[in-house]
Structures are given as structure tokens and as C-alpha cells.
A and B are shown apart, each in its own frame.
Chain A
Amino acid sequence: MRKYMVTAVLLVFAVVTIGTYYAQASQETPPNYKLTMVQGDASLVEGIAVYGNYVSKDSTFGIERAYITTNGTDYPDEKSAISQSLNRRPMKTQLDRWIEEHRQFMRGKTNTSGFYENEEMLAYVNATVDTKRSNDPSAKRNAKLSISLLNKQKNNTLEITSDINVDHDISDMYVQNVQLVNQQLVAMVFLNHSAKGYVSEPQIIRVNLTTKEITNEPLTLPGAKSVAANGDNQFVRLANQNLDHTDQWILSVSKDNHKKAYQVDVKTGQISPLTFQGHEMLLNNIMNAYGQKIYFLQKAVSSKENIGFAVVSYDLVSKEYETTLKNTNIDLSENITYAFKQDHLYIMGYKNFKGNRLYVFNLTSGNLEYEGKVVSTEAANQAEDEANMDLDFIDLDQF
């Protein structure tokens, strides 16, 4: 037996050491947190997640990304590369649900904003710019529009593709929102000019589902640009929420740090500038459109301590302003994070500098409908664990 010593010793040494190491390493997981309700309606946080960083004081490298839901915590870095790429998000998203239902149709379709869904159909609009660039700057570039349509009842698919010409300096095109008007898919698309400066140019693309005809119409926004020269800078944001059916698009354009807003009629493409007369200051606030209302989030109601926030609403029909929410309890001076979902505002911040809390307000009634707290499930180190968690994002599955 002595002659097998070297082999036996090395084998036992390797297996025991590596085995023990990984057995111990698997114990060394950061704490498990749960989003726990303090008061209100628990259904408001079903299928959502809050993201944050776990910062352990004992370790130099202990900053770990954490995804927290009502069920527990996912640490993406704690997973192998494979399971990371299989489950990018901690909850089941709308895309996941569609993939489950329409696996074939959903292949290659990843832009949530490109979908339109009603009871009869699921539609997807996508635009890609040809990467080939010609040397002639006056030449047009080729882009491809592809529209996929799934008839839910008959379970059949219709594909429409079309080549369109775009300006030479367009680097990419993003579909921002898709609506359906009289058997016409109407998509809001941003074309990004980025050869010189950076100008995001909105366009409307209409697809006639009966004739399969496709038209693209540039939007001439008064005071905005549709070409980019050196040093130009124009960012456009669609204030409407993904997947909500609407007949008015609200665009917020920020050009050379100057802000403007426009209302675009989905049906006609008609543009009307929104000037918010007498309330021009609102243009500097965070803007979100839902239904016939535009909501503005204003931070720091009390300027003295930089505490609290308010939400002002503007009704597109009645053209009236209303302060729907005013909160002076919650300190948003640092680590503010918020998200709108329909007429609800999800907002996170410190309360009395202790513990990360999530609040959900109803913007129509102005009521606090949910208050929750991220709680460590380990009773022993609860206070310390909670102090080590720094939340910074609310994932309402909208993008």
C-alpha cells in the first residue's frame, strides 16, 4: 500500500480541501431580505422588485447587487454565469409571460416598448438600421422595419417587413410605443442622429394591417431639431407608460438643456406644444403621462431641510392643474428612487434616516396605499443587515 501513498495523499488532499472550501463558501451568503408590508394593500407590490446594494462592513469586496421581492433576495453575482443569463430579473416579467404563452412568436422580440396587445392580437414593431455606412454623406441609409402580428384566437402569425431610407447619420432607431387605431398600428419611433452631435428625432410609423402599407412621417416639432450638426444635443422622452393604451403621446424634449413638451395625437399625428402657461416651472420636473393626465413630481417641498415631495397633475382635457399629493414626512434628500405605474407613484427613501422603505401613493386620491420595508430574515443580525442594505431602484416591469 505504501507505493500508492503519493496518489492517495494527493487525491484525499485535493478532494477534502476543495470540497470543504466550496461547502463553506456556500454558507457565506449575504443576508436574505424580504419586502415586507407595514401597512396597506399588498397586491400593489405583487410581481415587483426593489434593487439595491448590500454593503458589508467586514469585507473589502462585499458590495453585492441585490434584487429583493416579497419572496426573498436574489444576488445575481452569487449565481453562476449560466443561471444569471437564464434569470435576468427576480420576478416573472410581462415578456416572460408572453414567452410562456407564445414561445415561437416571441423569438428575438425583446423590446417591451415595441408591443401592442389587446384581446385579439399581440403585435410587435421593430426597427433596425443597417450597419453598412456609405462614404457619401448625402446618401441615405437603409433601415428595416419589421412588424409581427399574432392572432391570438387563430394562433396564426403575420409578418410584414419593409426597407426604409433614413438619414446617413442615423445610428439606431428605437420603437417607443405602439398603438392601434382603425386597423392601423401606429408606432412612435426615435431615430438617433449621432454622426455629429446627438439628436434624437421622433417619427410616427403607420402600418395598415389590411393593405400592409407602411408609411413613416417625420414629426416637425416646433423649436426642435430633426438633423444633427456639430455640438447639437437633443434628447427626447416619451412620458407615456409602456403598454398602456392611449390616444395622446406626450413628448418631453430637452434641447441644449432647454425643455419643451408636446402633445401628439396618435390618430392624426397632429402636434400641439404644451406650454403650461403660468406653470412653466413644471417643465423642469419629472413628468409622466397616464390617461388624460400628466403628473409632475416635485422634490423638496420644504426647502429648509430638503424634505418631502409633491405631485402636481395637469388634465389634458380640462387643462386644469391640481396638487394631488403633498408629503412632508419622507426625506428624499438622498437615495431617492421612484417609478410611476398608471396612477400610482412608487417611491423609496429614508424615513428618519432609518431603514429603506417603499411607499405607494394613489395619485387620483392622494392616499398612501402601501408602505413596506425591506427586512432581513435573520433575526440575530436584523438591525445590522438592514443598515447594510442600500436600495436604489424600483423595478415595476415596465421596460
Chain B
Amino acid sequence: MRAFVKLLNFEMNRFAKIYIGLMVLTVALQLAAVTIGANHWLDSANEAMRVNQWTLEQYHNMTGYIQLNSMMYARYNGLLYFGPIFLSITVLLIYSCFIWYRDWRGKNTVVYRLLTLPSNRANLYFAKLVTILLFVFGLVALQIILVPLERLIAQSILPAELYRNISVFDFLKYPTVLKVLVPPYFSEFVLYYGLGITGLIVLFTAILMERSYRLKGIGLIVLYLAVLAGLASVPYLMGYNRYDSYFYPGEIIGACLGLIVIIAGGSLWYSLYLLRKKISV
């Protein structure tokens, strides 16, 4: 356990600078998006009131309240608001591969050191896995606390007659990428991120296959993905999308959860086996 914590800390620090950069970028761009959006709405409201000779109340009666989600639809604000989210997703996806390859391919062969540390190699695996997860959850948490901040900004720019606060919960529930990243219910959070973690485990397994068998490993990866596709098709074969399926929903869901456990567990076991016995520097 102590070795795991040390390795986790080691892995975290290796990417901390870029990660903090991503966080700062997200905060800056999202707050800018809301500021620009709120001002844009204020201008257009003023303009409408001037042209039509409306009072604030008349304007509000005609157009309804402006809310936080309105900000994203002002000009290119969607790009400004969601851009850093997609950038972060991309960077973390790339780093999920790079977190292994940098040990081999970097200027220095750090993998020599990591694989010969006097601790179980599983610690290394879990340190890398948890590093990626902590980075992901850190950004998710950042997004959650950004919303109240963004609300404050919008509130300070727009007059109370025009603007109505919505709850963080309602805002994140709005069907955008945010609804997937911060699903409205905890059970869905567990389900989505459970699937995400399974995906990450599968990716790590593929990387370790390549690192163990090199060119031959690529053939193995194709085979492995074919097996996964076969397993993933079981719910379809059970007729999960058919109204009159022979199997009951509970059985199909049970099979799906079982499959996730089999895929995640099997891949995890195989990864650790590769790391222990087959990995090649």
C-alpha cells in the first residue's frame, strides 16, 4: 500500500504541470464565455428595449428570463465554454496511452527503474490507473464548482429583472456533454464511470500486450478486441433491444453487469500477468 501511494504521487507529479494548465484554461475560458455571453444578452436586451420602447418588464414578458444556459448560445460561446472540456477529454485520452509509453520512449528509460522497484508490479499498474481517474474526477469536480461561480458572474452582469438563477443540478442536467460527465443521479455516475474505468482497463491491457509482444502484440490486440466485441454482443443476442425478448430485463441487465465484471476483471488479471511475466523492456 505504501509503495502504491508513493507511486501514485510520483505519477501525479509527472503530469501535474500540464494538468494544472488544463484546469486554469478551463476556468479562464468558461468564466470568459459566461462574461461575454451575459454582456451579449444585456446588449441585445437593451437594444430590443430601445427599438421597441419596452420596459424591462415588457421585455421579460416577451422573451422570458435569461438563464445560465443561455450564455452558451451567444455567438461562439459554445466553443469557448465546451472547448476546454473537449480539450481536457482529448488530453487525458492521449495521456492514458502516453502514461505507459513515456516510460519506454522518453529520453530516459524510466521503466527500468519502475519495474525493478522492490514492490509488486501491480502497484505500478494501479498507480497509473488511479492517476488517470484522479485527473478525470478532479476535472469533473472543477466543473461542478465552476457552475456556481458562473452563476455569480451572470448575476452580477444582468439585472435581476432579466436574469433567473437555476440550480447547479438543473444546469448540469441540461442535455449537453455535461450531462454525460456529471450524470444527474449517483447510480448513473457509478454506471458511466464504471464503464469508463472498464474502457481504461481495456486500453491498458492493449498497451501492455503491445509492450509485451511488440508487433505480434498488435495481432493479439485485434484478437482481444474481437473477443470483447463477441462478449459485448451477448446482450444484443439476448434481445435487449427487443420488446418481446425471451429474457427478462433483469436477466439482461444481470448479464450486462456480469459481462462488465468479466471484461474488467479478466483484462485486469491479464494486464497484471503481462506486467509480471511478459513485459519486455
Contact = CB atoms under 8 A, between A and B. Distances in A.
A and B associate: yes
Given A22-B186, A107-B246, A14 B137 contact: yes
A108 B246 contact: yes
Contacts of A21: 144, 168, 182
A16 B137 CA distance: 11
Interface in B172-217: 173-174, 182, 184-189, 191
Given A59-B166, A80-B187, A108-B245, A18 B141 contact: yes
Nearest to B184: A25
B186 A14 contact: no
Interface string A1-35: 00110110011011111100110111010000000
Contacts of A99: 248
A381 B5 CA distance: 50
B191 A61 contact: no
A82 B187 contact: yes
Interface residues of A, number: 38
A60 B170 contact: yes
Contacts of A60: 67, 69, 166, 170, 174
B9 to A, nearest CB: 5
Contacts of B141: 13-14, 16-18
B12 interface: yes
A388 to B, nearest CB: 15
Given A6-B16, A80-B187, A86 B138 contact: no
B170 A61 contact: yes
Interface string A47-85: 000000000001111100000000000000011111101
Nearest to A78: B185
B68 to A, nearest CB: 9
Query: For the complex, would chain B's binding face be called helix, strand, loop or mixed by DSSP majority?
Result: helix
Interface residues of B, number: 41
A28 B167 contact: yes
B255 interface: no
A64 to B, nearest CB: 10
Q: Which of B12, B67, B135, B182 has the most CB of A within 10 A?
A: B12
B268 interface: no
Contacts of B187: 79-80, 82-83
B67 A7 contact: no
Contacts of B138: 10, 13-14
A62 B186 contact: no
Contacts of B9: 3-4, 6-7
A230 to B, nearest CB: 30
A110 B243 contact: yes
A58 B171 CA distance: 12
Contact of A82 (B140, B244, B253): B253
Given A61-B173, A61-B174, A81-B191, A7 B134 contact: yes
Interface of A: 3-4, 6-7, 10-11, 13-18, 21-22, 24-26, 28, 58-62, 78-83, 85-86, 99, 107-111, 126
Nearest to B185: A80
B134 A18 contact: no
B186 A26 contact: yes
A152 B175 CA distance: 49
B185 A109 contact: no
B247 A107 contact: yes
B8 interface: yes
A62 B138 CA distance: 28
Contacts of B67: 60
B167 to A, nearest CB: 7
Contact of B134 (A10, A24, A79, A108): A10
Given A86-B253, A108-B245, 20 more contacts: A4-B5, A7-B134, A10-B135, A14-B137, A14-B138, A14-B141, A15-B137, A18-B141, A21-B182, A22-B186, A24-B169, A26-B186, A28-B169, A60-B67, A61-B173, A79-B185, A80-B191, A81-B191, A83-B187, A107-B247
A99 B250 CA distance: 12
A21 to B, nearest CB: 5
A14 B134 contact: yes
Nearest to B13: A6
A3 B241 CA distance: 51
Nearest to B253: A82
A111 B170 CA distance: 37
Contacts of B13: 3, 6-7
22 contacts: A3-B9, A6-B13, A10-B135, A13-B138, A13-B141, A14-B137, A14-B141, A18-B144, A21-B168, A22-B186, A22-B189, A24-B169, A25-B184, A25-B185, A26-B186, A28-B167, A60-B174, A61-B170, A80-B187, A107-B247, A107-B248, A108-B245
Contacts of B246: 107-108
Given A17-B145, A22-B186, A110-B243, A59 B249 contact: no
B248 A25 contact: no
A-B pairs, 4 with minimum CB distance? A17-B141, A80-B187, A14-B137, A22-B186
Contact of A86 (B69, B184, B249): B249
A59 B134 contact: no
B12 A7 contact: yes
Contacts of B253: 82, 85-86
Contacts of A6: 9, 12-13, 16
Interface in B223-265: 243-250, 253
B11 to A, nearest CB: 9
Nearest to B133: A14
Nearest to A109: B244
